[in-house]
Amino acid sequence: MNAWPRVAAALAAGVVVAALPPDGVRTEARGQTPGQGTGRGIQANVDHPVLPIGSPLPDFALPGVDGKTHKAREYAAGKVLAVVFDSNHCPVSQLYEGRIEKLYEDYRRKGVTFVAINPNNPKTVRLDELGYTDVTDSLPEMKLRAKLRRIAWPYL
């Protein structure tokens, strides 16, 4: 089952879209409790729950590559907010940069606000994880990557 029609409908309705498993069926709909998984991909976690669709944006204050501190309330007025979790060192993040740029260009004039958040602590990234990149996840190197890739949306 393709989850994209439901995701697109949720985006059109202006609600927060949480990540769904590859088959598009939420854990609870399979008769599983949060925290119980199928052993593939990202699993629900009681300590770090996935936000249900329609949840308000959690409050935050994060430094951006533009030198400013960005707060959640800056993004409250938008019709739709796309939060992308991205990192400098991750090969998947690097591969998706072009796709994210295309989405940004296609949807920013249609009321979709984009913000990328690097969730990593650069001091906890293992040395073997840096084999795919020439930069770490530190803020100064996030600034370098944003400049190199011409990232036009907030990168926090």
Give the separation between CA 18 and CA 15, rounded to whole angstroms.
Answer: 9
- Predicted TM-score (pTM) of the model is 0.67
Residue 109: its pLDDT value, please? 92
Residue 27: its pLDDT value, please? 47
Structurally, the chain folds into a number of domains equal to: 2
Same domain, residue pair 75 and 138: yes
Question: Which domain range does residue 97 map to?
Answer: 57-156
Same domain, residue pair 121 and 89: yes
Same domain, residue pair 94 and 116: yes
CB 11 within 8 A of CB 46: no
Per-block average pLDDT, block size 10, for the chain (156 residues)? 51 48 48 52 68 81 96 87 88 89 94 91 80 84 92 94
Same domain, residue pair 68 and 133: yes
How far apart, in Å, are the Cα atoms of 81 and each of 5, 65, 87, 112? Answer: 18, 19, 19, 6
Same domain, residue pair 86 and 25: no
Residue 14: its pLDDT value, please? 47
